[in-house]
Amino acid sequence: MRVAVNLAGQQVAHDQLIPCIESALKQAQLNPEYLALEVTESFIIRQPEVSIGKLTYLRDLGISLAMDDFGTGYSSLSYLKRLPVEKLKIDRSFIKDIGIDKSDESIIMATVAMCQSLELGIIAEGVETPQQLEFMTALGCYCVQGYYYSKPLPADELYDFVCERNQVSEPTDT
Q: What is the pLDDT of residues 124-174, one digit of tens each?
A: 999 999 999 999 999 999 999 999 999 988 888 988 888 888 765 554 443
Strand partners, 78: none
How far, in Å, CA of 45 to CA of 73, rounded? 8
SS (H, E, C) 47-89: CHHHHHHHHHHHHHHCCEEEEEEECCCCCCHHHHCCCCCCEEE
Q: What is the pLDDT of residues 78-129, one digit of tens each?
A: 767 778 889 999 999 999 999 999 999 999 999 999 999 999 999 999 999 9
**CA 110 to each of CA 59, 106, 129: distance values in angstroms, whole numbers, following the listed order:** 26, 6, 21
Q: Name the CATH superfamily housing domain 3-166.
A: EAL domain (3.20.20.450)
DSSP category for residue 146: S
